[in-house]
Amino acid sequence: MTAREILERLVAFPTVSRDSNLALIDWVEDYLASHGVSAHRVYDPTGQKASLFANIGPEVAGGTLLSGHTDVVPVDGQDWASDPWVVTERDGRLYGRGTCDMKGFDALALAAVPLALERDLKRPLQIVLTHDEEVGCIGAPLVIPHVLKTLPKAAAVIVGEPSMMDCVTGHKGGTGFKVHVRGVEIHSSMMHRGVSAVMWAARLIDWGNQENERLWAETPSDLAALFDPPFTTLHTGMIQGGTAHNITAGDCWFDFGYRVVPGEDIEAHMARFRAKVAELEAQMQAIHPDARIEVEGRWPVPGLKPETDGAAETLARSITGDNGRHVVSYGTEAGQFQEAGYSAVVCGPGSIDQAHQPDEYIALDQFARGEAFVRRVVDRLCD
């Protein structure tokens, strides 16, 4: 199968993160088996999702690992000009959910399997496809330990998130919280006797605004200065709560997210947040003992730090010819591979500007550049 044909098959699986990806994993496993390649699965705790990894070539250390995720974001409420689950070519672009982020790279990695099998590989090509990247990079930490235990360790990991084939050597990490503020309902004319969950949630959210101002005012480190913006950010994107305009809100739910400059202590940021939660909760309970703030932490995603003479960066630059310094403020699984001891870099076809959008697409010339890149990766494994 060509890379284009594989992409069409992958996009046809509506692997939105809220749903199972097992049908896609089944297909990939059968595809690999048709080439005589054994795959390994790692399931999530529900058994309804899985990541997959495989080794092509000799079982020796020093190979190259190509990594991508299989899940995509929803299309609900988006106005698409064509079926998002069918790859449609228009004006030099391939439209469809996941064509850019990031089934395009997944297809290129899988298309390289028969090519690698035909060659005299001295070191292996390894492929890892994960689940639930879009909802917090949840799948990679589950599968990476199994890859390390089962396969010889690769010298370089290429995470093919859309970077326009630039070599991205650094990205921010992330973490966050789901917050439930529990107030005490009373008629709003007597609000001093109750506790409005919405109004106390607003205090915590405004503390986030103050933290952003504090961090903005600090002199950024040399690494932080590469990012836009050049500091760790706090953000609330969703909030809901209350029942009526004349009742103090009994409940308020919101999310609270961090994007952390690599090298900074994520735990220190989380500790400041928890301290503020404890402070506000004590003030609420001074009004009524039943009031409280419940916090559920999300899985922290480590940032990707630029490496000194890193094998992954050296490989990607030698193939692409890109010598620029590129960092991004979004997170990827590259930081998780690096945290596990791999040399990692982000380099893949397409633009992140197209990710998650209606009429998501990957340009044909980018797809072709990605295919040429993967072919040259295979060439290097023959050296």
What's at 383, amino acid-wise? D
- Find the DSSP H helices in 95-196: 103-118, 139-150
Residue with tokens 């594989």: 6
Q: Check residue 176 and report its DSSP letter.
A: E
Q: Nearest to residue 147, comparing CAs of 133, 123, 129, 164?
A: 129
Torsional sign, CA 184, 187, 192, 196: positive
Q: How far apart are CA 126 and CA 147, in angstroms?
A: 10
Q: How far apart are CA 261 and CA 243, in angstroms?
A: 39
CA 272 to chain CA centroid, Å, is 25
The residues carrying an active-site annotation are 71, 133
Tokens, residue 306: 């630029």
Q: How far apart are CA 26 and CA 241, in angstroms?
A: 41
Q: Other C-beta atoms within 10 Å of 209: how many?
A: 12
CA 155 to chain CA centroid, Å, is 22
- Is the peptide bond preceding residue 102 cis, with omega within 30 degrees of 0? yes
* Contact status, residue 288 vs residue 194, Cβ threshold 8 Å: yes
- CA–CA–CA angle 288, 292, 293 (5° rounding): 150
Q: How far apart are CA 77 and CA 122, in angstroms?
A: 49
